[in-house]
Structure formats: structure tokens, C-alpha cells
Structure 1
Amino acid sequence: MSFFVREKTISRKTKKFSSIKKPVENKQDQDEELDSENEEINGDHKSHPEISDEEDTETPDAKRLRLAKKYLDEIKKSDDEDEHVSKKLKLDYLDSIGKLKKQLAENILGIDEENLVTLKHKLQNQPITCLCLSSDNNILFSGSKTGKILKWNIKDKKQIGCISLDSSVICIALSSDNEFLAVSDKSNKIFIYNPSTLKKIHTFDGHRGIVTGLVFRKDSHQMFSCSDDRSVKVWSLDEMVYVETLFGHQNQITSVDALSKERALTSGGADGTIRLWKIVDESQLVYNGHSGSIDCVKFITEEFFLSSGDDGSLCLWNVGKKKPIAEQKLAHGTSSTGIANWISAIGTLVNTDLIASGSCDGFIRVWKLEKNFREIKLKFEIPVRGFVNSLTFTSDGSKLIAGIGQEHRLGRWWKLKDGKNVILVIPLKSKE
């Protein structure tokens, strides 16, 4: 197999120090003459407009003490800035090697019901199938079975744009720099748009089946796609070219995810496997654990990932282990017939211990990863009406956004008549 050559860029991170200059004493003119008009009428004291009484009465020792304190304050301020920069560099380094794990879930208390927002539009009066959020958390794109992709301003709660496709929207993805929007419907094509103007830039036509998943590698224009044709494809949007095809799954691939490293994570549906594709090494790791079809995979960090499927299990994995390190069986209970409720969507707040899952049981469940990412514990439930087809956290963890529908995003096996075809923007309450 041929793999494309990647250009390496070196980012420089410099510490900023505030320049410290020792104050210089002001020289006062000697034998300064004052006009009689500047003399005070009552009293013998003569004033100068630029010299305060405090400076006039300050002794040399007091002045040296004041300047020394000022100098020490400047040094302390510089040390605080140095500590802040060092902390930031440490976090960036841990993130780059996949070791960053922020303990955030403990501070999340529940949802702010009073400020919950429901977004709906007549152009998306059928189930919402997929969501993607801009890096600044201000713009949301939603796909629907109506074949419409709507652009929303989250702050203003308004729809500000629309893209029309020929059939149901299956997946969408946005690059980290918000330069490219990739979308796909029930076809083998991938359409690339400008997210600002919503003008089509390019069309990729390489898969032999429906494209079921799209993701951009973080901070790059490298894109991964997966399909019903059992393949994963690599694309470069800088040159708008196809790069490589990856084979290994024995059934339809249902989802794909990626972070910063040049790797793709995929779920193989009914073949019961998850695969981690190492592009540079031209190799893959295979994971087994679920008892049914695996439908969703999401990275938590570069070291840990999450999966779910129709067996109702929520599984936590370490990339170095072939079996789940933690499993929450029947995470959304069972149906009236005793069958496990299918987990149709999962969401992770990257590099933290906060995750979420959705099904058709009437709840979104928010979970905490405990014991250094070795255990899954339920935090709270959010009541919803319908299938949860997509979940995404804002990057600051202040909101959870859910795409809801009366039907599952991939088919019409059954319909929840009391379900709603809407987007829920759910504010999360946290400790002060």
C-alpha cells in the first residue's frame, strides 16, 4: 500500500516575561523661582502643581521602601505569568502524547432546565440524524432525513443557512479550523462545502457503498471516511485528493473517529470488531468485546475510547488492551419484550472523565469515568422523547447538544409516535 508523505511543522512555544525596570528618581530643579501669583494667600506653604504633598514629606528611607515593594510586586507578577505558561505547556504536552485526563465530571451537578433550548425547523420535520459543532462552539450544523443540512447560530438560537442533498443525510464533519464541511447522504459520494458561504467546493466519489461516517483528524485537513462497502478511505483536502484505502472489516462499517495522531478508529457493525488503524505503520489493532453489532466508537483521549451497540453495553477501552477495561451492561435498560435497548449515540468530552449515551428509552444518560478511567458510573439522567441519534459536548463542557428523532438515524425499523424531531441544547450546571 502507498501512503502519502506528511509535511512536519514545528510549532514554537515561547514564554512571555514582563519587562521589569527599576524606577528612576525624578530630579527636581534647584532654586526654582515661583511667581507671586502661585503663592498661597493664606499660609506660608508654597505648592508646585506636579509635586504632591506625599512626595514632599516622604523621607529617603520611606521612598526606598516604597520602590522596593513596587519592584517585588513586579517580580511576583512575572513569576505568576511564568507559572501560567509552564502549566499551559505541560497540558499541551500531555495532550500531544494522549495522557491528558481532566477530572471534570465531579463538578457537573445536573442540567439547567430553565435555560434548556429546543431548536426545530420545518425543513427538518423528520428525524435529526447527525450534528457537528464549530471549534468556537458558536455554529452548529444538523443533518436530517429530509435531506437538509441546517446551519444554526447557537447564541442567537436562529437558523442562518441551508444545504440541500438528494436523500437522507447520514453524516457530517467539520475541520478544526472551520474551513471545510464534509457531508454525505444515502449515496457513495462525499460533498465538501465552505462552512461560511455554504458553497460546494468538491465532490469525492470513491466508495462503492453508502458513506456511514466522516471525521477530520484534529488540527489537519486529513479526513477519514467509512462505508457499507467495508472500507476506510483516507483523503487530503489540502490537495482535494484520495490518498489510501484500508481493508480489514468483514461487515458494514458503522462509525469512525480520530484525534490528533494519524490514526482512525472504526466499528465494524455485525462483524463484532473495533479496529485502530495506524496509518504511518500501515498496521491495525483489532478489539473484541460486544456480543452484538457495534455501532458507535468515540475517542476519549489518545489512550482511551468508548463504544456502544445493539447489545445495550457501554464499553470503555484502553488502546493497549484487546478487551474492555470497564463495561456497563444494559446501560439503558431493556424494552417491554426484555431485549436490551440499543445505544444509538455516544458523546465524549475529549481529555476529560465526562461521557454521555442515548437510546430510545426516554433518557440521555451522563456518566463519570472513575478510578483513573477504570470504571463507568452514572451521574444523572436527562428525559427526552424519541431516538437519540447524535450527541456532542461543547469544548468547554458547559452544554450537551442532542439530535433527536422519531426513528433511528440509519433505518425505519420502528417509530416512536410520541418522539420529537428536534435539537436539544442542554446547559449543564456545575459547581461555582
Structure 2
Amino acid sequence: MSSFFTIPGAQKKRKRGPATEAPKKRFATSKSSSKPTSKPPSKSAPAPPKRAERDESISGSDSESEDAIELPDAPETGSESENEGETAAEKRLRLAERYLDNVRQEVDEAGFDAEDIDRDIIAERLQQDVAETKGRVYRKIASELAVDKASHTLFRCNTFTTTSVAVCAPYAYTVTKDRCLIKWKLQDLPANQFPQTTKRKPKKPPAPPRRQPTKVAMVKGNHKKEKDRDYKGHIADILCVAASQDGKFVVTGGADKRIIVWDAKSLKPQRVFYQHRDAVTGLAFRRGTNQLYSSSKDRTVKVWSLDELAYVETLFGHQDQVVDIDALAQERCISVGARDRTARLWKVVEETQLVFRGGSIDKKQKPNIDPRSLAHEGSMDRVAMIDDELFVTGSDNGSLALWSLQKKKPLFILPQAHGLEDPLLPTEASAERTPDPKVVPPPQPRWITALRTLPYSDLILSGSWDGYVRVWKLSDDKRRIEPAGILGSPSSDAAGLVPNGVHADDSGDEEMVNGANESKDAPWIVKGIVNDIALFERGDRGKDGLCVVAGVGKDMRLGMWKKIKGGKNGAVVFEVPRTKAPEKEELADD
């Protein structure tokens, strides 16, 4: 079968025109003649014998005639003469390589680097996906966040205490003790990133990230519908909320023992579950799916499938009310049981559980700390998973504990993460007119009321009622929790990366100071108790920073054991920028 690439050049030449035209082109392009003549008609006498020689060369050599006709340029003729013995397949390969070279040259002129795209988008993404599939920490971004440059804004909607918050970018969902579920649209970052500027310059121009979120929708339950079984709404305090990653569902649980599944777009109820026998205290979605885990004061953990809007199973084991729960990509979840002081990892498929027992304190007596202020762990209230091997818990003794699935005891305990309470006055501790100062109890640590991690990274956030959101990072050896900054504090405090009530001695070790707090005149950004924290990354893989939403209230989400004077009911949004690569390298060098 013949084709264009297999037809001899001589045949192609004969089809294109008469053979008498060949000598003319040969004389025009050939460099074999020693002296060109200015008058071809008068000095072209030897032309007939050359024509005869040319006819013989045409019949004897196809490649030479092809070069003479198709490639008139001298350099091309030389290069083609080197390829006289190539086959048809080799010629097609050579033409394909030439085409690729031309495409590559056009791409380079347009400023498009295919090699960088292959390296960054394909190779790096595959490595990250594999690491996330294995469930290990593979991202270290805590040191890349400019915590001291974070902007903030407080928003509220004339409601009671905000008990929980969930995010599904660009929306945030808050729930309150007066049975309200509110959907907010968070503001987008400006194109020029940090610091933000606006085109218009009014007298007091607010930075775009500091603008308050927009309220999109709101639904409120009715406590008078308690006896109405068909009422699809909450009739008591809403204690927790969770949003699915695909933006399809929003789920709330409350003190009325109900779990309500809402449509995320319209906030219309789709299904109400009544399987729990006591207040629902926690909700968590399995990452990448619509499988839901719930915890309750009835000491159980339940599994739900929202794709079928159905109940799956119940997990038993806790000896006290289950107050918090968290989950990642694998089909397992972890919960904490308040005063049974245990964290339990539930392996749903294997139908087994791992029990981790708390209750211990840091036995190292540190200087400048009243030993009576080192309170024992009475209740394990908060839990958050770092990866499939590590998790962190927060307790009422103010300690953050780092756990591993390989050990039943914590790897590391950070006591008094949010400092100590202000000491009471003698008149406040006793009813006597002139009380003895000895009756004053030692200052107690602030509880860990909120805890959140950025999954598969070294970033940890915690909240209490000290007026700030603390930022922590996992050490390189994954065996310690170290301070990384403070959200909502003056820049001088945040730059030092030292938490409230902590100072660094000459040896570099951090020591707690009994009753040491920031100045009472220092402005508090978070006015109230941080009852919950939610976060998401801005841009692709967090290249534009981090958005943190903290739910704030005058009292705690599960009770009124603590009430903050002057506290606010609402939420605070922090926009944390990402440091640039040159700044990161300079910090690493220092």
C-alpha cells in the first residue's frame, strides 16, 4: 500500500510538472557551479549535455532529485542529504519530532512552562493524595501563617449564646441556645491579598476581610411544639451543627434529643431522627462522604447515612455522657466521655474500640506555679483528630493532651494552655468582714471549651474564655505541642508566640506563672467563651491563608457554670494570611 511518505521522489516530480523545468531550478539552487554568469543566454552553450546528464541522474537517484525540487535552500539540502537512507517510519518519526519542537517553541514564547505544571500539579498532588490516603501528617503550615497579622470581625444576630459553628466555604452555619440556625456568607478575599486596600478611599475605609458576613437565611424552632411529633424543628437548645463537604446537607442536634437534616441551600428540613434518648452533644461527618457520627448524653455514639437518610447502628462503651466527637477519612470516629475520662476510637467496620484513659497531670513540679493550681483532670470535654494515628484532647483542668494510637497514655500534656483565672479577693471568698487571706482558694486554670485541627497538618486551635484563640503546632518529631501564636491579641504579644500565663526562661523551657495574665487594659477581641471553632483554607491548598470562625457566647454551650460579664453572643471571623516564600526562607535561616 503506497502513501505520500512511501512514493519515490522521482515519481512525485514527474507528476508535478515537466522534466524540462528541473534544470532551471537546479541551476538556481545548486552551488556546484564554480562561477555564476551574468548573461545566461549567451554563455549557456554546454546546457544540452548537462540536460542529458540530469536526465540520467533523475532516473538513477530519486532522493537527489527530490532535494533539488522540494528543498531549494542550501542548508536544507545538506541536512536532507544526510537522511538519504532513512526508511518511511524513520522519516515519520523525524517529522513528528520536528512538530513537537515547534509546539514546544510556541509554548515557551507564550510563557507556559509545561515542566512546572507537571511537577507542581501532577507529582505533588499525587504525593499529597497518597499521604492523605495513608492518613499521616504531611503538611506543615503552622509556621507559614502570619498569625500576628490576622484581621478579625465580630458578627451577631440578636440571639442567645452561640453553641456551635460549621463551615462549608463560602458559607458558615451557627446555632444558638434559642433554637436558631443561621446561614452566613463569608466575605471573599480581595485580589491583592494582604494587606488589603480598596479602590474607594472614604474617610474610614474598612478592609474587605473585616466586613461582616451576610446573613443568607435563618430558621428558628418553637418550644411550644413539644407535643407535636410531626413538627420538623427544634423545641430546645441547639447544641451542635455539622456541614457536609459537598455542600448538600447541614445537620443540627439539640437538647430535645433530635437530629435534624437540613437542605444546605434553602435550610428546609428533610428528615428528623429521634433515635437518641438524651441531648445530642456532637456531630461529625466522615471526610469525603455523607456518613455522619453523632454523640449524646445517653452514652452512645450513632452512625447515620445521609445519602439514604437512614440510621445505621449504635456504638456502646462510654460510662458517662459523650460530649464531643470527631472523624476523618477512614470509617472510624473518636469520642470523649466527659467524667469517665476516656477517649474511645471506634472502628466501625471491625466493630471494635480502643480505649485511652486520661486523668493524669504533669508530674513535673514547675517553679513559680502553685502546686494547688495543677488541677486533676475531672472531665475530658473536647477531642480533635490530627491524622489517623494522632489526636488531641482538651479537659476542664486546662490541659491539652496529645495521644497516639500506639499508646494508652498521652504522649504529651500541656498544662494550663489558656492560663489561670484571676485570684479571688478575700471578701469574695468569705462572708466575713475581715477574712483571713488563707481562705482564698488557689487560682484555677481555664477550661478548654473549643478544640479544632486542620486535618493531616500540624495546626491545632483551642479556645477558652481568656479572650483569645490559641494557635499551636505539632513538633517535628510528632511528640509535643508547641505554641505558634495567638489570634486576637496585640501584635507584640503575638510576635512573641507566648501564650497567656507562660513565659520562657533562660533555658528556653516554658514555665507557667501563677496568676499571670495580660494587662486588664489590653483589648479583648473575643469577648466571651469560645464554644466552638471551625476553619477552612483560602485558595488552592491554603495558598491564600486560613479562615477561622469562632463561636462565642456569654456562657458555656452545655451549661451555665461560667458566665462572662460583658460577653458577646455571636461569632468572630479571623482571616490569617499565608507568609510569602522569601519571608519563610529568612525565618528558617534565623
When normalised by structure 2's length, the TM-score is: 0.60
Whichever residue aligns with residue 127 of structure 1, its letter is T
Aligned mates of 1:203, 1:68 — CA distance in 2:
61
Alignment match, 2:67: none
Q: For residue 289 of structure 1, report the CA deviation from its aligned partner.
A: 2.4
Mapping 1:119-198, distance limit 5 Å: 119-122=155-158, 124=159, 126-134=160-168, 137-155=169-187, 157-165=213-221, 166-198=235-267
Task: State the match for 2:531 in structure 1.
Answer: 389
**What's the CA shift string for 1:211-261, capped at 9, x where partnerless?**
111111111121111111101111112222211111100000000111110
Partner in structure 1 of residue 493 of structure 2: none
Cα distance in 2, alignment partners of residues 355 and 405 from structure 1: 21
By how many angstroms is 1:349 displaced?
A: 1.1
Q: In percent, how many aligned pairs have the same letter?
A: 34
Name the amino acid aligned to 1:253. V
Secondary structure (helix, strand or coil) at the match of 1:371 reads: coil
Q: Secondary structure at the match of 1:430?
A: coil
Residue 425 (1) aligns with residue 573 (2): yes
1:399 matched to 2:547? The reply is yes
Q: Conserved in 1, the CA contact under 8 Å of 2:282 and 2:295? A: yes
Between Structure 1 and Structure 2, whose CA radius of gyration is higher?
2
Cα RMSD of the aligned pairs, angstroms, is: 2.7
Letter in 1 for 2:295: C
Match of 2:419 in 1: 333
Which TM-score applies when normalising by structure 1? 0.81
Q: Does 1:269 align with 2:338?
A: yes
Shift of residue 292 of structure 1? 2.0
Q: Is the 8 A contact 1:91 1:100 kept in 2?
A: no
Q: Are the counterparts in 2 of residues 386 and 407 from structure 1 also a CA contact under 8 Å?
A: yes
- 1:200 — aligned with what? 269
Does the Cα contact within 8 Å between 1:111 and 1:426 map onto a contact in 2? Answer: no
Correspondence 1:172-321 to 2 at 5 A:
172-290=241-359, 291-321=377-407
Offset, 1:319: 2.0
The offset of 1:362, in angstroms, is 2.2
Q: Determine if contact 1:230/1:247 at 8 Å carries over to the other structure.
A: yes
For 2:186 and 2:242, how far apart are their aligned partners in 1?
Answer: 17
Question: C-alpha deviations, 1:181-219, integer Å up to 9, x for none?
Answer: 111121111011101011110011111110111111111
Alpha-carbon distance change, 235 to 67 in structure 1, aligned in 2, over 3 angstroms: closer
Moved more, 372-381 or 68-77: 68-77
Give the aligned partner of residue 484 of structure 2: 379
CA distance, structure 2, for counterparts of residue 58 and residue 269 of structure 1: 89
Equivalent residue, structure 1, for 2:154: 118
The equivalent of 2:410 in structure 1 is 324
Alignment partner of 1:413 out of 522, 542, 561? 561
Q: Is the Cα contact below 8 Å between 1:295 and 1:344 reproduced in 2?
A: yes
Instruction: Give, in angstroms, the shift of residue 67 of structure 1.
Output: 7.4
Specify the alignment match of 2:470 in structure 1: 365
Partner of 2:584: none
User: Helix, strand or coil: the match of 1:89?
Assistant: helix
Q: Distance in 1 between matches of 2:185 and 2:172?
A: 7
Determine if contact 2:170/2:186 at 8 Å carries over to the other structure. Answer: yes
- Note the alpha carbon deviations across 1:366-403, whole angstroms, 9 max, x for none: 11111232211112223422101111221335221111
Question: Contact 2:284–2:325 (CA<8 Å) still a contact in 1?
Answer: yes
Q: Which runs of 5+ in 1 are unaligned?
A: 1-28, 32-56
Q: Secondary structure at the match of 1:394?
A: strand
Deviation track 1:246-284 (CA, whole Å, cap 9, x = no partner) reads 110000000011111000100000000000000111100
Is contact 1:111-1:427 (8 Å) kept? no
The structural deviation recorded for 1:321 is 1.8
Residues 369-378 or 401-410, more deviating: 369-378
Shift of 1:309: 1.0
Structure 2: tracts of 5 or more residues without a match = 1-15, 22-72, 80-94, 189-212, 222-234, 360-376, 424-441, 489-525, 581-590
Q: CA distance change for structure 1 residues 106 and 208 in 2, over 3 Å: closer, same or farther?
A: same
**Which residue is 1:10 aligned to?**
none
- Aligned-pair CA distance for 1:428: 1.1
Residues 333-383 of structure 1 show CA distances to partners (whole Å, capped at 9, x for unaligned) of 121241121110011111111111111122221111112322111122234
Return 157-166 or 332-341, whichever deviates more: 332-341
* 2:137–2:458 CA contact under 8 A, matched in 1: no
Q: For residues 387 and 67 of structure 1, do their structure 2 counterparts lie closer, same or farther at Cα, with a shift above 3 Å needed? A: same
Q: CA deviation at 1:102?
A: 0.4
Describe the shift of the 1:306–1:69 C-alpha distance in structure 2 as closer, same or farther (beyond 3 A).
Answer: same
Give the total of aligned pairs.
375
The structure that is helix-richer by fraction is 2
